[in-house]
């Protein structure tokens, strides 16, 4: 595919068009993804997440500048909340990342979350593939900062950076299940604020609640940064790289990638089968089942079995139970 070839050759306009194409999710997008897929699997995917106001965009900018100073190429995907009117990204993190503008070794793209839960849009994974195939060494995915529900990034990234700041939340906020459990690296940003020692202690307490058992045998380091001044940015970037080295040395990177691919494959199959089933379901059957459910004559599970039976023409008893 010519567009993929141009993007891989460094044509930024072609890359932008390619990402727009894969965002669409139509037949053309599938053709493009098939063409670029053989060139993926080389970039280090870094997820950066945390509550709004923690300074994620400034931190990402500083880390990207640091990696550029080392000769690494960096792409940034900033997943913003969706405008309810235009459907587009409403924060536009590229505005905050002007320091990266004009650098041929950097690429920044804002994407709308389109209402997707977990902080990632459905097309983010495909956009990451496009950036990976374009040859970037590091792809940073900055999520919308929705809070503890934003754990989806852990499934897409190799290394997850969770950003905290002093003075946000109560004493037990740092030990709640959810977003903090996905961290491979903790960054306590705005560390020039009062209360930074308390925030670090809370994180350390949370890390040791599990009796020293951490994901993949890795204990997440805690790095204090002041992203506005660049303080300790090199240390944060080094912690991210140490985590990747840990995954590689313990043969965990390939395992994570295999699990991610299997999840993606199952999601695609599920969506494809549902779309095909709905296309083949007779309108009168569709309406009848909806009416029966609305009148509480039929439960949704039984209605699903009947819909599948009417389309695939096999007895209801043959429908696997307890599977989604």
**CA gap 107, 139 in Å, rounded:** 9
**pLDDT bucket at 50, cuts 50 / 70 / 90:** confident
Residue 291 clears pLDDT 70, i.e. is over it? yes
Q: Which has more pLDDT, 317 or 285?
A: 285
Q: What is the mean pLDDT of the chain?
A: 83
Q: Which residues of 109-128 are buried (b: 16+ CB within 10 A; e: fewer)?
A: bbbbbbebebbbbebbbbbb
Burial class (CB in 10 A: 0-12, 13-18, 19+), 170: exposed
Regarding pTM above 0.75, the answer is yes
What digits encode the pLDDT tens for the residues 309-320? 998 865 444 444
Tell me which of 262 and 169 has the higher pLDDT.
262
Supply φ then ψ for residue 122, to 5 degrees.
-60, -30
- At 53, list the tokens: 């106001």
pLDDT of residue 169: 60
- Judge whether 231 and 193 are in contact, CB under 8 Å: no
**Which one is predicted more confidently, 303 or 86?**
303
Tell whether the model's pLDDT for residue 214 goes beyond 80.
Answer: no
pLDDT tens-digit map of 229-251: 999 999 999 999 999 999 999 99
The pLDDT assigned to 116 comes to: 47
More confident residue, 42 or 24: 42
Our CA angle for 139, 100, 109, nearest 5°, is 50
Written in H, E and C, the secondary structure of 246-262 is HHHHCCHHHHHHHHHHH
């Amino acid at each position: 595919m010519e567009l993929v070839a141009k993007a891989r050759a460094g044509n930024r306009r072609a890359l932008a068009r390619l990402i727009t194409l894969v965002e669409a999710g139509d037949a053309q997008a599938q053709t493009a993804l098939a063409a670029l897929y053989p060139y993926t699997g080389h970039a280090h995917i870094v997820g950066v997440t945390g509550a709004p106001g923690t300074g994620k965009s400034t931190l990402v900018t500083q880390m990207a500048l640091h990696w550029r100073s080392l000769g690494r190429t960096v792409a940034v995907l900033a997943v913003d909340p969706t405008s309810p009117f235009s459907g587009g990204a409403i924060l536009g993190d590229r505005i905050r990342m002007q320091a990266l503008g004009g650098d041929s070794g950097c690429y920044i793209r804002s994407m709308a979350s389109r209402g997707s839960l977990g902080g990632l849009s459905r097309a983010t994974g495909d956009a990451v593939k496009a950036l990976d195939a374009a040859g970037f060494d590091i792809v940073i995915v900055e999520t919308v900062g929705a809070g503890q529900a934003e754990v989806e990034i852990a499934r897409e990234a190799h290394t997850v950076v969770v950003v905290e700041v002093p003075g946000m939340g109560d004493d037990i906020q740092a030990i709640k299940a959810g977003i903090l459990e996905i961290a491979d690296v903790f960054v306590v940003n705005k560390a020039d604020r009062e209360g930074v020692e308390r925030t670090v202690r809370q994180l350390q307490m949370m890390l040791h609640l599990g009796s020293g058992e951490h994901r993949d045998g890795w204990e997440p380091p805690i790095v204090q940064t002041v992203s506005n001044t660049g303080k300790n940015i090199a240390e944060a970037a080094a912690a991210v790289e140490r985590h990747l080295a840990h995954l590689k040395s313990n043969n965990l990177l390939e395992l994570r990638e295999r699990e991610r691919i299997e999840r993606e494959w199952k999601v695609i199959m599920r969506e494809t089968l549902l779309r095909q089933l709905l296309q083949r379901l007779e309108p009168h059957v569709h309406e009848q089942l909806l009416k029966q459910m609305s009148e509480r004559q039929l439960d949704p599970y039984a209605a699903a079995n009947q819909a599948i039976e009417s389309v695939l023409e096999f007895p209801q008893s043959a429908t696997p139970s307890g599977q989604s």
